[in-house]
Amino acid sequence: MAGQRSFTGNGASAPVTNTGTITIERGGYMALIGGSVANSGTITVPMGEAAVGSGGQATLDLSGDGFLQVALPTQWHGSDALVSNSGTISADSGMVKLTAAAASDMARQAVNMSGTIEARGVSGRSGDITLFGGEGKVVVMGRVVVRNTEGKGGSVTVASREIELATAVIDASGTTGGGTIRIGGERQGTGTLLHAETLTVDAGTSINANATISGNGGEAEVSGKALLAYTGFTDLSATNGAFGTLLLDPYNVTISTGPTATSRASRPAAMTASSMPRRSKTRCPAPMSSCPPAVAAHRRAISPWPRR
């Protein structure tokens, strides 16, 4: 099976559930597609590609970078998320994608990730994980791991109009450099990635893109256009290199004191603020000395810390 394959439902695609064990040979492909899709079992695709998708139309691209694209929100009326993973999906040195074509008027979650997704680096090759909820909501309460013990950390992307991270672990650490984490958008609203309107990261969440032996810390972008509430822990440190960058990217910024949020990044380089409505804000409830290295909004810039 090569090239592209397209699948179209009748507007009320049926649910797909995996509670067992699926093992694909090295470098293979695995896709679960339906009106709603739930995995509570174990899926293993070493150095391959695994995807779980919900949509009325789906396209599998086995020769390109897209692998699974979904469109046309399904009319499935169940109460659960369109795509959920409470089990384990593993694709070491490969790619894992959870995606849902969700309409903006949906009250329920598009993607719920309470289990474990791993695309660990093997033989120096990094992995890639994407969670995409379209106009719906993505909730992450589990572990998303692209750690590389033989090279640079991998890439994690979480994109949806609404995103919630609750006691989640996002790990893109690497022995020769931290990886790249994009949650809610790209740097200062640029790029083609869907930008989140609201993003909340609770105090039990850990975001890591640290370099454990050599190289520099990685980069983490955390964006919310209307609301960004961030109280999580971030590690972008480097044992023998430069610290990485955590960019909190809302429209307005509120720095308040509190004991809950910390970051191992040492010197904040700049903070920017804008004249957008006050309801659009970031909360960084920590002393300024321990806030992330960059807090950026989309308008005027102020620098409360002296440059060194």
Burial class for 125, CB neighbours closer than 10 Å (0-12, 13-18, 19+): middle
- Secondary structure of residue 289 in the 3-state scheme: helix
For 230, the token pair is: 């961030």
- For the cut 50, the answer to whether the pLDDT of residue 13 exceeds it is yes
- Secondary structure of residue 203 in the 3-state scheme: coil
Tens-place pLDDT, residues 79-132: 689 999 999 999 999 999 999 888 766 556 899 999 999 999 988 799 999 999
Within 76-232, strands assigned E span: 83-85, 88-90, 95-100, 111-113, 116-118, 128-132, 137-140, 143-145, 155-159, 162-165, 169-171, 180-183, 198-201, 206-208, 219-223, 227-230
- For the cut 80, the answer to whether the pLDDT of residue 215 exceeds it is yes
- For the cut 90, the answer to whether the pLDDT of residue 273 exceeds it is no
pLDDT at 3: 67
> Which has the higher per-residue pLDDT, 66 or 135?
135
Backbone angles phi, psi at 187, to 5 degrees: -55, 120
- pTM for the predicted model, two decimal places: 0.82
Domain assignments of the chain as residue spans, ordered by start: 146-302
Q: Radius of gyration (Cα) for the chain, nearest Å?
A: 19
Question: What is the number of other CB atoms lying within 10 angstroms of the CB of residue 204?
Answer: 15
Cα–Cα distance measured from residue 27 to residue 13, given in angstroms and rounded to the nearest whole number = 29
pLDDT at 191: 78
Residues 6+ apart with CB under 8 A from 116: 87, 88, 89, 90, 142, 143, 145
Give the architecture-level CATH label for domain 146-302: 3 Solenoid (2.160)
With cut-offs at 50, 70 and 90, classify the pLDDT of residue 190: confident
Backbone angles phi, psi at 135, to 5 degrees: -85, 5
- Whole-number average pLDDT of the chain: 80
pLDDT at 56: 79
Listed range (18-27, 129-138, 292-301) with the worst mean pLDDT:
292-301
Q: End-to-end CA distance of the chain, in Å?
A: 57
